[in-house]
Amino acid sequence: MKHLQASEALHIILEAVRTPGTEQARLEQALGRVLAQDIRANRDLPPCDVSAMDGFAVRSADVANAPVILEIIEDIRAGDMPRNTLAAGQCARIMTGAPVPPGADAVIRVEDTQEISASVVQINKAVKPGNDMRLRGENMFIGDVVLTAGTEITPGVIGVLATVKAAQFAVYRRPRVAILSTGNELEAMDEPVDPNKIPDANSYALMAQVQALGIEPVLLGIARDDPLELEQYLWRGLEYDVLLVSGGTSVGVHDYVRPTIEKLGVIMKFWRVAIRPGHPLAFGMLPPTKVPQVDAVQGASREPTQAYLEDRQGGEQRVTPQCAACGTLVFGLPGNPVSSMVCVEEFVAPALRRMMGNPRLYRRTVTARVAHEVKFCPGRTEFIRVQLTRDEAGYIASATGTQSSGVLLSMARADGLLVVPANSTGLAAGAQVIVQLLDGTAFQDEIGFSE
Amino acid sequence: MKHLQASEALHIILEAVRTPGTEQARLEQALGRVLAQDIRANRDLPPCDVSAMDGFAVRSADVANAPVILEIIEDIRAGDMPRNTLAAGQCARIMTGAPVPPGADAVIRVEDTQEISASVVQINKAVKPGNDMRLRGENMFIGDVVLTAGTEITPGVIGVLATVKAAQFAVYRRPRVAILSTGNELEAMDEPVDPNKIPDANSYALMAQVQALGIEPVLLGIARDDPLELEQYLWRGLEYDVLLVSGGTSVGVHDYVRPTIEKLGVIMKFWRVAIRPGHPLAFGMLPPTKVPQVDAVQGASREPTQAYLEDRQGGEQRVTPQCAACGTLVFGLPGNPVSSMVCVEEFVAPALRRMMGNPRLYRRTVTARVAHEVKFCPGRTEFIRVQLTRDEAGYIASATGTQSSGVLLSMARADGLLVVPANSTGLAAGAQVIVQLLDGTAFQDEIGFSE
């Protein structure tokens, strides 16, 4: 069977992505969203020439031959308006951010002065016009576009939005995501422990990966290996913008997902990708005209899950109707949790981020040296779970124990994914490699500065 | 005035930090929290020897002289229990994750076989005992500690928690954080635009930085330059675990914060740090015995803000009583938004992360080459807002326009903070530097893999 290369698969997925529209967000709840409009300045900032320091506003000509004695005619603090115009030989005590009074053209820092009395100061330094002043409009002029559509809303962006008093603005809507696990061998969280079953880790691991992108997914539950039951679950999932189905896409004779999903009208683009772990990754789209309507779904014979019911009764965000032009993106993920998590990192998360309007789709990468030999996996891109440490020469990547895709702890302990390209012929210890940083690794345990 | 070095200031702050206790969290709401208990396996996983592949379970002795013809006596899928014991010359069709039947000691992948009929298969490959099997307990044995207290809950950790069916567990409590802006020059978000005032960006920029750590802070509002009003606001803020006060800590004669905060019983540890921007950074602690009680606060003459009232009437998390041994940590931040944001990144965030039990306190750093000359700032650690680009040799850091601390756009556009050590004598273009990655930069716009 011909396997797609990872980049070909990603290209097909990203080509299929549509942004499901925009909505209004309040400043207090906008962190991590993406602006869907340009933001303009609503005033000049600073509104006039202001002092950049605590000190004295002076006429620069007066202090050309410093030291010089000047009369203090006024105290101006931030929020005050100056009452007087400086004449020759005069100055004003001024605070950071306070308006520079008419007549003054420079500020002298308090440390370059010596107060003689409450009304007389000695200036010890000559300065040029404009010294330690911030000019009107230095930050922004009214009407300037200060942030453009497509900007991810970081804390710094929140600060700029507050500066222009944008209490509410348009952001890209978050896609609605449903997660379904499949398989007779799975044991649900609320079922008693059965040693012959496997706990359903996938639903929750995928939930957390989606939550990490700022999206609250809906867990549909576990569909058993029964074509009718599976069809009803899939039908419910197809009502969302994105459906993640784990398990049931491999070549085993007991896998029902493939025929069922095609029967429901999903046009599958591929069923395999040349990656390890995760090669049974499938992707398809349900055309917009075939997306199930609420009534059709409610008419399904099986009782919906609690999560599904809560979602249907949910708040404003959840009942947002699906974008008419979007259809549903369907990802068939491996049943194995490590494999499915790698597929979400590499293929689903970029699609979700593009849907949310984010120009940055991929995990930040760093270069590292690999601590040990890495065998190659001919023709497949391999993702090895690694921990990162550091020495004088930079990052060192070491595999987190066994790389068996059955061992989820290898993912829990990983700082990143070491990428072994498909054309690699193996890596010797010390070779330079690319590592994608995973969640939780925006922080480290070593101080980021030194004196 | 003697300025503390940045690392000395950080040491003093982290010494003062106490973890404000633990609480229970549900799996669905635990992402980003930190485990406050060890987590043990509740079963052997796999529960027995299982197949790692789709294929045939065999007796390895039978296939030593492959190719060989075997009788298929059973189909075993994940979730099934084998019904028969393999005799010589027999095999069982088996799916990934299904139990290996008694008598079998290896699995042959389906691609190394050729089915002759529904009950007969040709095995084309000899394998050793244990081939493509996952042994009982390979992931975990019942009773093993699989996650230790202090583990940050990433998606991979969520997957492990689901695997051991930990639906609820102890995590470190999030500190309660209050944010107060001060200054007559500030204009609140809901006030009309007054060209002589400065919009209060600080409250929101700091809010977002605290939100990015998973904490929902309370905005107390703006205290004007009036000692009584300031005292009442500060008194309210001291009821929280952490109080961030911006503005009013510089040496200006109109700054009331310093005397007022000391009057309320806060023991200040320092008022200046040798950093740029942000040197007017102050830090102190209110001893636990002096933390205001609810009644005392309600007795304050000024009406509390809406945010404060909502917080007092809030849900379970918000009314959690303050840890008796903790007291209140008070950070005096510069009035300038860029400076105060840098101070939060470098000093407040590490303290909050330690309070939440996180062993990783600092932003992840990468090495980069600086794109341009950087002048030095003798004796001070400097933090330059930079954008990161990349070429063949790695990251390149370029300052985001003007580094005037008045220009918040420089922070909004930054991918990271370039750290210029206090002992630096300047950096030539191309010099290697350390860059702390900021929010929103866990992602990049370049694919993190290649084939």
Q: Is A67 on the interface with B (CB under 8 A)?
A: no
In this structure, chain A runs to a length of 451
pLDDT at B442: 55
pLDDT at B302: 38
A 286-315 residues with CB < 8 A to B: none
Residue A193 structure tokens: 């422990």
Q: Which residues of B touch A113 (CB under 8 A)?
A: none
Task: Compare all CA atoms of chain A with the CA of B401 and give the residue at the minimum distance.
Answer: A139
DSSP-assigned beta bridge partners for residue A368: A395, A433
SS3 for B193-225 is CCCCCEECHHHHHHHHHHHCCCCCCEEEEEECC
Tell me the C-alpha to C-alpha distance, in Å, between residue A408 and each of A182, A332, A420, B45, B46: 18, 19, 20, 11, 12
Q: Is A164 on the interface with B (CB under 8 A)?
A: yes
Best of B197, B449, B450 to mutate (most A CBs within 10 Å, chain A): B449
Q: Is A355 on the interface with B (CB under 8 A)?
A: no
Q: Is B185 on the interface with A (CB under 8 A)?
A: yes
Residue B410 has pLDDT above 50, yes or no: yes
Calpha distance B279→B274 (Å, rounded) = 6
The amino acid occupying position A104 is A
The stretch A139-145 carries a mean pLDDT of: 92
pLDDT tens sequence across B103-130 = 999 999 999 999 999 999 999 999 999 9
The stretch B423-435 carries a mean pLDDT of: 92
A5-19, A293-307, A435-449, B321-335: which range is least confident on average? Answer: A293-307
The stretch B186-214 carries a mean pLDDT of: 93
Q: Can you give the C-alpha Rg of chain B in angstroms?
A: 30
Q: What is the pTM of this model?
A: 0.89
Estimate the crossing angle of helix A155-163 against helix B201-211, to 10 degrees.
160
pLDDT at B179: 98
The stretch B51-58 carries a mean pLDDT of: 92
Q: Which residues of B touch A361 (CB under 8 A)?
A: 443, 445, 447
Q: Which residues of B touch A159 (CB under 8 A)?
A: 201-202, 204-205, 208, 337, 341, 408, 411-412
Q: Is B164 on the interface with A (CB under 8 A)?
A: yes
pLDDT at A20: 81
- Residue B311's pLDDT band, with cuts at 50, 70 and 90, is low
Q: Is B404 on the interface with A (CB under 8 A)?
A: yes
Residue A108 has pLDDT above 90, yes or no: yes
Task: Compare all CA atoms of chain A with the CA of B137 and give the residue at the minimum distance.
Answer: A407
SS3 for A13-59 is HHHHCCCCCEEEEEHHHCCCCEECCCEECCCCECCCCEECCCEEEEC
- Count H helices and E strands in chain A, helices first: 11, 28
Residue B44 structure tokens: 């052997």
Residue B321 has pLDDT above 70, yes or no: no
Residue B440 has pLDDT above 80, yes or no: no
Name the residue with higher pLDDT: B199 or B320.
B199
pLDDT at B164: 96
pLDDT at A257: 85
Contact B175, A141 (CB under 8 A): no
Does B254 sit within 8 Å of A449, measured CB to CB?
no
Percent of chain A with pLDDT over 70: 87
pLDDT at A2: 62
Contact B303, B288 (CB under 8 A): no
pLDDT at A383: 92
The stretch A189-197 carries a mean pLDDT of: 90
Residue A45 has pLDDT above 50, yes or no: yes
Residue B297 has pLDDT above 80, yes or no: no
The stretch B324-332 carries a mean pLDDT of: 85
Residue B357 has pLDDT above 50, yes or no: yes
Q: Is A423 on the interface with B (CB under 8 A)?
A: yes
Q: What average pLDDT does chain B have?
A: 87
Q: What average pLDDT does chain A have?
A: 87
The stretch A42-55 carries a mean pLDDT of: 91
pLDDT at B252: 53
Partner-chain residue, chosen from B202, B381, B383, that has the shortest CB–CB distance to A451? B381
Tally of CA atoms within 13 A in the half-sphere of B131 that contains its CB: 21
pLDDT at A291: 81
Residue B221 has pLDDT above 90, yes or no: yes
Shortest distance, CA A289 to any CA of chain B (angstroms) = 32
pLDDT tens sequence across A341-362 = 999 999 999 999 999 998 888 8
Q: Which residues of A touch B200 (CB under 8 A)?
A: 162
ipTM, two decimals: 0.88
- Residue B307's pLDDT band, with cuts at 50, 70 and 90, is low
Residue B314 has pLDDT above 60, yes or no: no
Does A443 sit within 8 Å of B361, measured CB to CB?
yes
A283-287, B75-79, B293-297: which range is least confident on average? Answer: B293-297
pLDDT tens sequence across A320-331 = 445 556 789 999
- Residue A253's pLDDT band, with cuts at 50, 70 and 90, is very low
DSSP-assigned beta bridge partners for residue B270: B283
- Residue A317's pLDDT band, with cuts at 50, 70 and 90, is very low
Q: What are phi and psi of B145, to 5 degrees?
A: -75, 115
Calpha distance B161→B30 (Å, rounded) = 10
A91-95, A198-202, A208-212, B16-20: which range is least confident on average? Answer: B16-20
Tell me the C-alpha to C-alpha distance, in Å, between residue A196 and each of A272, B45, B140, B162: 29, 10, 15, 17
Partner-chain residue, chosen from A28, A156, A407, that has the shortest CB–CB distance to B139? A407
pLDDT at A109: 95
Beta strands in B78-176 (DSSP E): 90-94, 106-109, 113-117, 120-123, 133-134, 145-147, 168-172
Partner-chain residue, chosen from B193, B412, B422, that has the shortest CB–CB distance to A157? B412
The stretch B377-401 carries a mean pLDDT of: 90
Q: Which residues of A touch B378 (CB under 8 A)?
A: none
Can you list the domains of chain B with their CATH numbers?
6-21+173-355 (3.40.980.10), 50-134 (2.170.190.11), 365-437 (2.40.340.10)
Shortest distance, CA B289 to any CA of chain A (angstroms) = 32
Does A196 sit within 8 Å of B79, measured CB to CB?
yes
Residue B349 structure tokens: 């965030």
Q: Which residues of B touch A158 (CB under 8 A)?
A: 204-205, 207-208
Does B154 sit within 8 Å of A208, measured CB to CB?
yes
Q: Find the distance separating the first CA and the last CA of chain A, reported in whole Å.
A: 58
pLDDT at B451: 59
Count the neighbouring beta carbons within 10 Å of the beta carbon of residue B425.
Answer: 8
Residue A58 has pLDDT above 90, yes or no: yes
Q: Is A79 on the interface with B (CB under 8 A)?
A: yes
- Residue B315's pLDDT band, with cuts at 50, 70 and 90, is very low
Task: Compare all CA atoms of chain B with the CA of A202 and give the residue at the minimum distance.
Answer: B159
Which of B240, B210, B234, B225 minimizes the C-alpha distance to B352? B210
Does B205 sit within 8 Å of A421, measured CB to CB?
no
Partner-chain residue, chosen from B27, B77, B409, that has the shortest CB–CB distance to A204? B27
Q: Which residues of A touch B185 (CB under 8 A)?
A: 77-79, 97-98
- Residue A300's pLDDT band, with cuts at 50, 70 and 90, is very low
pLDDT at A178: 98
